[in-house]
Structure 1
Amino acid sequence: MTTGIRVHTGAGLLAHTDALRSVYVDAFCAPPWNEDEKRGAEFASRLPVNVERAGFTAATAVRDGVVVGFATAWTTPAPFPTGRCYPQAAAGLGPTRTADWLCGALEIDELAVRAAARGTGLAGDLLEAVTAYAPDGRAWLLTSVRNARAVAFYRRRGWTQATHPSPDGEGVVVFLGPRHPARSLAPRPL
């Protein structure tokens, strides 16, 4: 079995929409995410808009002709967005750090690997491929604290947790990439 990683920077990725949707469903319909097929369709419907975002980059992993994983990213605009989970990220960092650390940086939107391909290093390879050309090493992502496995994975890969969850342990956390210049400025956990 051979696995190849390919980087995409535009609308050519759309030729793989059905395969990406299938990987998304395989990765996120299981615990702890527990999403449904509808969310996979929503992901696929966002792709044509996402590939047009400034700095869009994706990486796909293909094993024996089948897509088994992918990552997508783009440059976070300024002013900082206000939809989705962005307000939680901004609240955790404050307005100055949000603008300085995240705007203009490469934002990892999705990282998904089929269950059968987990534990092979593939997620790390995809993350590295999609962030290889992050501007000045500035890459970031957010993830849910309810997925301890994802949080541990990012830490093992050298990502620095820059925000911390609410006292009830809910919400999202921001991670700064291993080459992000603000990593040393991130508050340490209590």
Structure 2
Amino acid sequence: MRDVYAEAFGAPPWGEGPEHADAYLRRLAGEVGRPGFTAALALDAERVLGWATAWTTPDPFPGDRSYARVSAALGNERAAEWLCGGREVDELAVSEVARGLGLGARLLHAVTEDRADGRCWLLTSVAARPAVDCYASAGWTEVTDPAPGGLAVFLGPRHPALSTRPRPT
């Protein structure tokens, strides 16, 4: 997982070095205890090709990490209404050898498909074009123009807010 993390997040726009991959593995050990935590792992024999992790977004909407920028982009009311209690996809990483094969979309589906009400969301950088394209082709909808710092919020294909909000032109 460390190597895939380094491949996925080492290049722009993330630019995270090997120490970030090590820190992620340490952080992951604690994140499995978050409410609603779920994960999917893709393997080829014993080789990790990719994974996704997700959990339930707390209520009230947090203000740490990138959450403050999400609130700034959506507004506090929408962030709370659309995202609190929903399934938040936190990480999705695919090995370079497995990119372009639909694995990212399958991992995304694996960590969100059981959410009966469809309230799933994720945050990414608009500069991460392959990720943005993957989410869009998997039916996810960007609902920010983008958030401060070049971040974009995507709602899952069955998210109920999609039926009530105007589509961007």
Contact 2:37 2:56 in 1 (8 A): yes
Matching of residue 115 in structure 1 with residue 69 in structure 2: no
Contact 1:139 1:180 in 2 (8 A): yes
Matching of residue 171 in structure 1 with residue 150 in structure 2: yes
Work out the CA distance in 2 between the residues paired with 1:118 and 1:54. Answer: 30
The correspondence of residues 44-83 of structure 1 with structure 2, limited to 5 A, is: 44-83=25-64
1:128-155 Cα shifts (integer Å, max 9, x gaps): 1011112511100000111122212211
The correspondence of residues 78-97 of structure 1 with structure 2, limited to 5 A, is: 78-97=59-78
User: Which residue number corresponds to residue 28 of structure 1?
Assistant: 9
Q: CA deviation at 1:187?
A: 4.8
Q: Secondary structure at the match of 1:137?
A: coil
User: Which residue number corresponds to residue 24 of structure 2?
Assistant: 43
Consecutive unaligned residues of structure 2, counting only runs of 5 or more, are none
Mark the CA change 1:161 to 1:185 in structure 2 (over 3 Å): closer, same or farther.
Answer: farther
Contact 1:146 1:170 in 2 (8 A): no
| TM-score of the two chains, using structure 1 as the length reference | 0.83
Q: Secondary structure at the match of 1:34?
A: coil
User: Which residue number corresponds to residue 10 of structure 1?
Assistant: none
| TM-score of the two chains, using structure 2 as the length reference | 0.93
User: Which residue number corresponds to residue 106 of structure 1?
Assistant: 87
Q: CA deviation at 1:160?
A: 0.8
Contact 1:69 1:114 in 2 (8 A): yes
Q: 1:136 is matched with which residue: 109, 117, 121?
A: 117
CA RMSD of aligned residues (A): 1.6
Consecutive unaligned residues of structure 1, counting only runs of 5 or more, are 1-19
